[in-house]
A and B are shown apart, each in its own frame.
Chain A
Amino acid sequence: MEKIKKLILSIVPDAVAEEAQYPTFTVDASKIRSVAEKLKEKGFDYLICLTGMDYGDSLGCIYHISSSTDKTSVIVLKTSTSDRQNPAIPSVHDIWASANLYEREVYDFFGITFIDHPDMRRLFLRQDWNGYPFRKDYDANPELNPVPMENQTIAEMENMPSITLKSDGTVIKKENALFEKGDYVVNIGPQHPATHGVLHLRVSLDGEIIKKVDPNFGYIHRGIEKMCESMTYPQMLHLTDRLDYLSGTMNRHAMCLCVEKAMGLEVPQRAQYVRCIFDELTRIASHLLGWGCMCMDMGSITAFIYGMRDREKIMDIFEETGGGRLMVNYSVIGGLAEDVHPNFVNRVKEFIPYMRKMIKEYHILFTGNPIAKGRMKDIGFLSKETAVSLGVTGPSGRASGFACDVRKIEPYAAYDKVQFEEVIREKGGTFDRYIIRLDEIEQSLRIIEQLIDKLPDDGFRAKVPAIIKLPAGEYYQRVENARGDFGVYIKSDGGKNPYRVKFRSPCMTLISALDPLCQKEKIADLIMIGASLDYVIPCADR
């Protein structure tokens, strides 16, 4: 870490270094690019997340950067600009490809323009939205932004404004066209059976062959992060479940861990074990659904129903203990809402051999099917470099050889007490992304098997004050959810509400991988590749 500190200080002598959870450096906006370039050279090639921030007097960005080789080291860069009228920060989209969407998101929420970014459209909100909702001085009057009754025009969706700064300081504003003239553009979504939610893909085609994919977000943007700012910490938990509803338990776990870490709370072992078991069960359920949906998108509806059938077994376990099926609402700050149901252990033990048997059936039904094999062979390769640069994590990243399992990198809860294998495949093809999910189910079963017999008996919840206040500071917590590296960032000013909350969504980066993956493939493959990435739109839109 000292080396990094020296390196940054050598580029920017006036950088402010802090020792927080991660080493933090505050850099002037004009220097951010040179620091980023140097860091990239030193191996920091994975931009975990980019958070916009309204400090009151200034607007800024926070970059969480990690490396694909030295995975445990995370550094935080901060920069800000005091110009609230026309804030501008140099773009880093060519250094880390994932910054492309992140910067658009920050522009959408805070109005910070990124210089040299080729595509400064709003990401989530409509182009005609008034104001920047995440600024602290945003006027939330609904009359300013009434529910629209007309769709956006093509021009609004296709013209990409950009800002370039010349060396003599003059600003050039330009509008680029998204598609070439005469392109055959097909809208896939927002209502389409294969976008797994309400993603809107604009695809230009040459016959059946894809030339370009442009994802349009925001059809389920619910403003969860902004809502969190006016909520207490226990209230926020309910929204985390609804981000990525298929791995709700894990998202909630992340939020609990983050708050507990900030409070310095010791969580009983039993709670940690049970949380792990719940996480893994959720992961299995999510992978089953992901597997089923992928099969369905290839036209095999029976496989989908089989996946759903076995998922119901997990839903039963959840329902018995937590009371909910999809939204279990089980973890709370300090532990669990209630102790597990007396049947829980037996039910889970029955489930493990059943699931193992069923995985064999899936392989017989679908993996070995000649048509399925032919469809998935040699399609949609994602190289490791692209995966890292785009921030594609989770099963999809691991299928490309990017070892990014947070359970191994920063073990939380009981994950340091269990033996399991991080399934990694090298090629990064569609088949790898398909098979890795079924393999991960086996690993999850292994984890559950090790934990379920050893549940400690030290209570299920720690004592938690009635009003939870976090000490002022910034907290970041990563967990591995079913789709990848899920992160919670909380900035607290010491009150009972957070100052700013940011969720690092693994799904948004997965969607950004669609365009590079689908180049020159057929339209049928777009659907299949999309399904193999297994994104959940509300998680990306937040």
Chain B
Amino acid sequence: MEVKNIKIKNMKTEDFNDNEYLEKYVEELKKGGVNVAVGVLDDLINWGRSNSVWPLTFATSCCGIEFMCVGAARTDFARFGWEVTRNSPRQADVVFVAGTIVHKMAPVLKRLYDQMAEPKYVLAVGSCAISGGPFKDSYHVVRGVNEVIPVDVYVPGCPPRPDAMLYGMMQMQRKMKLENFFKLPNKPTIPDTGKSEGENK
């Protein structure tokens, strides 16, 4: 699927940021060529997946409150079909890493991610999850969750507004709609953060 063909209700492709990034991603996926029949099936599967994303109830700090707000009355993420928050990682599709991840929590988060069933996605919510945020100088804070688990979408803010999280969710839907089910999984590996070996262990 082309990036410009992705349909997100009430949002035009031009209104999204980072379209170039997605186009590059599509190019990479298409390198082996696309089978038409399989492509249609792919679209169907991706339509299902992207519209039924069940988040794991997981929040460590401040961003968790805004995550609750996303689920509450005003900015209701049930509209997107995301409201079935699962408490068991086995049944969840996406983990919102909402809040700071510290050294003691890192192995727990990793285990949670390992316990989730494929396909699984990660949203890093808030500056703490992205880079350590205001706490990056601390002795006990992990500088971004990408040191522990691979991240699909970053939502900046401290904490991000509920609207920003909805936007991040829609970006994630766009990404999901580009996936190829009938090819080798093209999940992003842990990206090179450009940090020294010692920090990146």
Question: Could you list which residues of chain A lie within 8 angstroms of chain B, going by C-beta atoms?
Answer: 124-126, 133, 138, 140, 142-143, 145-152, 190-193, 197-198, 218-224, 226-227, 230, 238-239, 242, 245-246, 289, 304-306, 308-309, 311-312, 315, 325-327, 537-538
Whether B80 sits at the interface, judged by CB under 8 Å, is no
Within 8 A of A (CB), among B54-92: 56-62, 64-66, 68-69, 72-74, 87, 89
Contact residue among B72, B107, B135 (Cβ-Cβ distance under 8 Å from A309): B72
What is the bound-complex CA distance between A315 and B73, given in angstroms? 13
Once the chains bind, are A223 and B61 in contact (CB under 8 Å)?
no
CB atoms of B134 and A218 under 8 A apart: no
Residues from chain A with Cβ under 8 Å of B62 in the complex:
242, 245, 326-327, 538
Q: How far is the CA of A227 from the CA of B133 in the complex (A)?
A: 13
CA distance A216 to B103 in the complex (A): 14
The segment from B9-17, B20-28, B117-125, B136-144 that touches chain A is: B136-144
Given contacts A149-B110, A197-B59, A309-B73, contact A218 B138 (CB under 8 A): no
**Given A138-B139, A224-B138, A315-B69, 14 additional A-B pairs, CB 8 A:** A125-B103, A146-B198, A147-B147, A149-B106, A190-B105, A191-B56, A197-B60, A220-B105, A245-B61, A245-B62, A289-B65, A305-B72, A309-B73, A311-B69
Is chain A's interface secondary structure helix, strand, loop, or mixed overall? loop
| Complex CA distance for A151 and B69, rounded to whole angstroms | 31
Give Cα A148–Cα B107 distance, bound, in whole angstroms.
Answer: 6
Question: Are A140 and B135 closer than 8 Å at their CB atoms?
Answer: no
Contact B140 A148 (CB under 8 A): no
- In Å, the complex CA distance between A86 and B89 comes to 44
Give the interface of B toward A (CB within 8 A): 56-62, 64-66, 68-69, 72-74, 87, 89, 99-100, 102-108, 110-112, 134-135, 137-142, 147-148, 158-159, 161, 198-199, 201
A219 touching B198, Cβ below 8 Å? no
Would you call A219 and B199 a contact (CB within 8 A)? no
Between A and B, 6 residue pairs with Cβ closer than 8 Å are A147-B148, A151-B107, A289-B68, A315-B69, A325-B66, A538-B62
Tell me which residues across on chain B come within 8 A of A306, comparing CB atoms.
Answer: 73
Q: Are B104 and A126 in contact (CB under 8 A)?
A: yes
User: Is the Cβ of A191 less than 8 Å from the Cβ of B108?
Assistant: yes
Residues of A within 8 A of B74 (CB): 309, 312
Name the contact of A220 in the complex, choosing from B73, B102, B112 (C-beta under 8 A): B102
Assembled-state Cα–Cα distance A418/B107 (Å): 50
Min Cβ gap A355→B in Å is 16
Beyond A191-B112, A219-B102, A312-B69, is A149–B134 a contact (Cβ under 8 Å)? no
Please judge, given known A-B contacts A147-B201, A220-B60, A326-B62, whether A308 and B68 are in contact too, CB under 8 Å: yes
Q: Once the chains bind, are B61 and A220 in contact (CB under 8 Å)?
A: yes
**Quick check: A327 and B139 within 8 Å, CB to CB?**
no
Which of B56, B65, B89, B140 interacts with A245 by CB under 8 Å? B65
User: Which residues of the partner chain B approach A312 to less than 8 Å between Cβ atoms?
Assistant: 69, 72-74
User: Provided the pairs A143-B198, A223-B135 are in contact, do residues A246 and B65 lie with their beta carbons within 8 angstroms?
Assistant: yes
Q: How far is the CA of A124 from the CA of B139 in the complex (A)?
A: 12
Cα-based distance from A312 to B198 in the complex (angstroms): 44
Asked whether A218 lies within 8 Å of B102 as measured between CB atoms, the reply is: yes
Who on chain A is nearest to B107 by CB?
A: A151
Does B108 lie within 8 Å of A219, measured CB to CB? yes
**Smallest beta-carbon distance B169→chain A, Å:** 18
For A151, the chain B residues whose CB sits under 8 A away are 107-108, 111
